Amino acid sequence: MLRCALVSFVFLLSSPALAEIKTVSLPIIPLPQKIVSQHGFFKMNSQVQVYAADEASRNNANLLIEALNSTQQWQLTLHHGSPAKKIRNAIVFRVPKATQVNDESYQLNIQQHGVELVGSQHGQFYALQSLLQLLPVQRQAHIQLPLTQIQDQPRFVWRGMHLDVGRHMFSVEFIKKLLDQMAVYKLNTFHWHLTEDQGWRIEINRYPKLTEIGGFRKQTTKDRNYQPYIGDGEPYGGFYTQDQIRDVVAYAKTKHISVVPEIELPGHSLAALAAYPELACTSGPFEVGTNWGIFEDIYCPSEQTFAFLENVLTEVIDLFPSEYIHIGGDEAPKTRWKASPLAQEVMRREGLKNEEELQSYFIRRVEKFINGKGKRLIGWDEILEGGLAPNATVMSWRGEEGGIAAAKEGHDVIMSPTSWCYFDAGQGPKEQEMWQLGGEISLEKVYSYNPVPQTLTAAQQSRIRGVQANVWTEYLRTPEKIEYMVFPRILAMAEVAWSAQEQRQFTHFEQRIAPHYQRLSAQKIAYRIPRPLGLDQIVLKDDVAILNLKSPVAGSKLYVSFDGSTPDTNALAYKKPVNFKLSSVQPVVVKVLTVLPDGRRSAVQQVQVPLIK
């Protein structure tokens, strides 16, 4: 049976045109808090002068000069101080005179004589991102910017994206490419998932076997053959050296992004146990995981294990200046602890009632060490089980319940529930996706998320510190697959994280996102090509249907078939509305293929038109 996306059909007595989309003057994502627009433009050309009014503004001013040189080939130089009043073609960066409550807030003033970006270094950087989104992608002799005053600040302090490199790893260059796009959309936290059952990806000098042995597996699950298991027979592995880690962290800092490392414990530790089996509750032997899922073997709560983890975390903390260290804490089966004399003795000694409380003890021991190093512990919501560590922050992924419980206990929370935030899930019906890994989290579904549960009191709601999109890579082996799953959904998540809830409207967002596809193409991002506009609004009149399409991506070509076959790109591209006959015997299946100006193709989108009654 053919599965198609939900469609609305309009029955009219006369032939209509596709509803016009209102022009949106400022296609800025995420949506700023306050915009006051005026009539007129600031006309900018290659003679524009860029000023840093103070030392703190110099880096951001230079970033603008680099951007204009790259896109427009304008050779500009930086001026120090403020311009004379008579200069009318200037862009000025300056720190506000009064101290700002929010270090990430900014003002962007576009006036007839020039542009002013006001804020701390963080705030100016975000003002710059908003300004750059208003500039053309292609080279132009003159640029017109609409006269506007923007006052803006983020809703949440943690605006994150997570990448799992334990299952499949990605180059430093690719990670920097992701960081670039995170910065464009004002995301400020990169959660780097560095250790897993299937691979240990961070060099630890004191324990070289973690990467020599733990960094490599003999094979990987072939395709989707998880159960029963079929391996691909190909060795896989790798890791990041400490120099590479430092490089990524330093690069992220230039983008105003904090990198939060995740070192999984006590579960998801099979790669570490393969390298150092003495850390387990059984003698092994162990091998690095070759299949996906949850493994019974986890760290044993021995003093040897705690010494090992403290040594590992000491090196990790030295590499990452971030406020937080993520310790996982999720999906840790207690089978080995229940059978372990050592674990049971720890429970008796510490007066613990069950293995859940033993995990809480384990996490508390690690938190005490992390706090002693001036860092804060964050973990997945399983760290609630058995009692939460005193200063821990909870990342709620199994729905919102864990986050709600933690907030009620007075703990900080990052919301990241599967139903809205897991970007390895599909984006539409399986047969209409390039890669569909199960589930369906559309762009609109992501955008609909409100991270603050209304069941909490105002004081409890203040504990919701942010929101995060997660990318798990069991079945995402290539950068192209990551980009397809992340973009454009990360733009929706960025607006969830930054913009005021009461201001957000998906129809408005859909209009503002349109020019961003062109920007993503210019950056060679293999984003999911959106469904053509109008495919879900086919007009029915008697025994005739009217198809009126438009691609959200400027310059794209659309190819259409009406018999259920794959559209032929050798045929003429769609140009104007098409009338086609309906049937009383068999539904008509309309299929559309989008081809971008750079030649990249969409998955074939389709809709089933109902029978004539």
- DSSP letter for each residue of 273-335: HHH-GGGBSS--------S-S--S--B---HHHHHHHHHHHHHHHHH---SEEEEE--S---H
In the prediction, which pLDDT does 438 show? 80
Kindly report the pTM of this predicted structure.
0.94
- Structure confidence by residue, pLDDT tens digits, 50-66: 999 998 899 999 999 99
Per-residue confidence (pLDDT) for residue 131, from 0 to 100: 98
| pLDDT for residue 612 | 75
CA distance 36 to 31: 13
What residues have CB less than 8 Å from 332, skipping those under 6 apart? Answer: 266, 267, 268, 298, 359, 382
- Say if residue 450's pLDDT is above 70: yes
In this predicted model, what pLDDT tens digit does every residue of 94-149 receive, in sequence order?
A: 999 877 778 999 999 999 999 999 999 999 999 999 999 999 988 988 899 999 99
The DSSP bridge pattern shows strands 34-44 and 578-581 to be: unpaired
The count of other CB atoms within 10 Å of the CB of residue 431 is 13
Structure tokens at 153: 């600040």
What is the rounded CA–CA span in Å between residue 400 and residue 404?
A: 6
Secondary-structure percent of the chain, ordered helix, strand, coil, rounded to 5: 30, 25, 45
> What's the mean per-residue pLDDT of the chain?
93
CA angle 538, 544, 548 (to 5 degrees): 35
Residue 297 amino acid letter: D
Work out the pLDDT band at 3, boundaries 50, 70, 90. Answer: very low
> Three-state DSSP class for 129?
helix
Return d(Cα 328, Cα 362) in angstroms, integer.
12
DSSP sequence for 478-510: SHHHHHHHHTTHHHHHHHHHHS-GGG--HHHHH
Can you give the length of the chain in residues? 613
- The 10s digit of each residue's pLDDT in 310-334 is 999 999 999 999 999 999 999 999 9
Residue for token digits 């840790």?
A: 332
Q: Are 64 and 90 in contact (CB under 8 A)?
A: no
Q: Is the pLDDT of residue 23 over 50?
A: no
Q: By C-alpha distance, which of 15, 24, 4 is closest to 535?
A: 4
Residues above pLDDT 90, as percent of the chain: 88
pLDDT tens digits along 382-396: 999 999 999 999 999
What is the three-state SS of 167-192? Answer: CCCCCHHHHHHHHHHHHHCCCCEEEE
Choice between 472 and 227, residue whose per-residue pLDDT is larger? 472
For position 610, what pLDDT does the model report?
83
Report the pLDDT value the prediction gives residue 25, as an integer from 0 to 100.
64
* pLDDT above 50: residue 8: no
Strand order in the sheet with 34-44: 34-44, 143-152, 106-111, 114-119, 90-94, 49-52, 78-80
Q: Tell me the two tokens of residue 94.
A: 């300056």
User: CA gyration radius for the chain?
Assistant: 27
* pLDDT greater than 50 at residue 21: no
Q: How do residues 348-359 score in pLDDT, each as one tens digit?
A: 999 999 999 999
Give the side-chain half-sphere CA count within 13 A for 501: 8
- The pLDDT value given to residue 98: 79
Distance CA 354, CA 541 (A): 68
- Find the range with the poorest average confidence among 18-32, 222-236, 281-295, 367-381: 18-32
Give me the amino acid identity at 169: M
